[in-house]
Structure 1
Amino acid sequence: MAATEPVDIVELGVGDAQAGLVLSTEAGWNQNEADWRFFLSKGIVFGMRDGARLVATAALLPYSAANAWISMVLVTADFRRRGIARRLVDACLGVATRRGLTTWLDATPAGTSVYGPLGFTPTLQLRRLRLPKPPEAKATRQLSAGNIEALVVRDAGAMGFDRSTLLSEFAARSGSHVVSCAQAMALIRDGRTARHIGPVLADRPDQALALVDAVVGTEPGSWLIDAVHSQDEFLNGLIRSGWNIERPFQRMRFGRATMLSAELPFAVAGPEFG
């Protein structure tokens, strides 16, 4: 394909889940096919093709109270630096504007310089951490089965809007669990390369750390968590426990804030979901 040849934007469907997974796998991201099917069935996903090959995507995932999340902004290596990602994000913003939605995203440092000029303003910061496979699984604290309804309510307080559809779908997946430990609760789910912990909600940092410690003691394997940077006691506790920071994310908002959050989470559901 010539570098100047135009590529049309198309709206994707659930049948494109495998093609989307190829793109996110190329980028080294943790999404699995179930994640892609959720975006394609519950959100609006735009893409560009080179013939039959999907070469770029961007997703708009509506939530409640006129909020939506933009994510899965992916361009395969040989189509980058052509303005494709910007065009796809503009398509998402166009839909959001027509529907009167406030849009959010979690940007990498490179993405922050792109989204800022579009009118996105920074809010909180995140740090993605990975815990390599531990030598052996050994539970150190008692975990209890959590309640998805209670998690949904508390998550809504932290986000400022309801995400019951997302969290209920997560909880219903094979391998997913809602867990609690003292006054802390979290959702655990599978990813392509690692198990993911989040959101994590608690009254205090020590409660959040105790829950995470109990979770990773239940099974071997690699873990990911997206911690809120300003929760410094929690973040530093993870690092002392052997978690390694992989990359930062900057949460950004386009449009007015629709609701105030009642509490700050310790970790989020993931940069692709908020």
Structure 2
Amino acid sequence: MITEKSINNEILTIETLTETDIHHVVRLSNLLERGYAESEIRMILQAGNLFGHRSGEGTIVSTAAILPYQGNLASLGVVMVDPRYRRRGLATRLVQTCLDIVPEYSVILVATDEGKPLYEKLGFRTVDTLHRLIAGEYQCQRPPHLQMQYTQFRYIDDQDLPELLKLDQEAFGAGRSKFLNLWLRQANYTSILQNQAGRCIGYALGVQTPELLVIGPVVAPDSRLAYLLIDDIARRYQGKIQINIPSVHQDLIRFLMRCGFKLARIAPVMMSGVYRMPPRNHLFAVSARSYG
């Protein structure tokens, strides 16, 4: 699909981006201080569709991605526009192009304050908020009684995948096997939680970006065990850590802020189609802002 828009005698073309465009997308990300790595953009290309406007000089000046999941839910992300090309309707056209790919789906996104009015015009409504916490240095505060005797933490291996996919679908509200398989390949740190019978009851992943470690998803039966999963990864990493926690989990947010995390921002979570979040009581952290 290709459309065109003439701006100041310059033809800007919406294109389906490919791996040959990754360096352009990373350049735009760096310009806007979004922090996308080449590996993350490559994963988005494999898991969904990435669109962008290309300038007459061949540079990508705007992007937006749509990642469809099983269960008629999709995630919208990587919405970026070069500052020189803003206020010209490029983001609107790209987002609409993404929505046209999944006309029967509910679409979820994590908005910036600047982007929220655009999404509202396109029919999105705020259904939740996401707390982004960042720790320059993690300070373990694990109370002795928190380590429960019936749990066991270990690294994730291939045989765990069926149980992880089932857990993730129940926690996220949609099946996203393709995405999770790809995200697992990128994970530098993993932790799986088993009960006494050896059954998987929770997991967490940590993915290294150019600037920090992002911990997520985190799926657990309750906030205490969610913290232990986070702690299992955070204590093995030396450096800056980011975690994105749905606002419903205030007890976990407060505890992590005693462990060296600080609130970086609160972002609106928006949806189109159905203005109600699926139940996510066991999803304690999302993977990243682009994946719902």
TM-score relative to the length of structure 2: 0.83
Q: Which has the larger radius of gyration?
A: 2
Question: 1:242 & 1:132 partners in 2: Cα distance?
Answer: 7
CA deviations on 1:199-224 (whole Å, 9 max, x unpaired) are: 11122212212222232111201111
Q: Retained in 2: the 8 A contact 1:126–1:249?
A: yes
CA RMSD of aligned residues (A): 2.6
Question: 2:83 & 2:228 partners in 1: Cα distance?
Answer: 41
Question: 1:264 & 1:251 partners in 2: Cα distance?
Answer: 17
**Residue segments in structure 1 that go unaligned for 5+ positions in a row:** none
Q: Pick one of 26, 30, 46 that aligns with 1:25.
A: 30
Q: Retained in 2: the 8 A contact 1:30–1:194?
A: no
Question: 2:262 & 2:21 partners in 1: Cα distance?
Answer: 33
1:25–1:181: structure 2 CA closer, same or farther, 3 Å change rule? farther
1:107 — aligned with what? Answer: 111
Moved more, 165-174 or 250-259: 250-259
Matches within 5 A, 1:179-198: 179-180=192-193, 184-198=202-216
1:116 — aligned with what? Answer: 120
2:20 — aligned with what? Answer: 15
TM-score relative to the length of structure 1: 0.88
Question: 2:119 & 2:62 partners in 1: Cα distance?
Answer: 17
How many residues get paired? 270
The CA deviation at 1:260 is: 4.3
Q: Pick one of 158, 168, 173 that aligns with 2:171.
A: 158
Letter in 2 for 1:213: D
Q: Pick one of 61, 66, 80 that aligns with 2:67.
A: 61
The CA deviation at 1:177 is: 2.4
Q: Pick one of 42, 50, 65 that aligns with 2:47.
A: 42
Percent of counterpart pairs with the same letter?
28
Question: 1:162 & 1:184 partners in 2: Cα distance?
Answer: 16
2:133 counterpart SS class: strand
Question: 2:181 & 2:23 partners in 1: Cα distance?
Answer: 23
Q: Retained in 2: the 8 A contact 1:145–1:180?
A: no
Q: Retained in 2: the 8 A contact 1:60–1:70?
A: yes
1:229 — aligned with what? Answer: 247
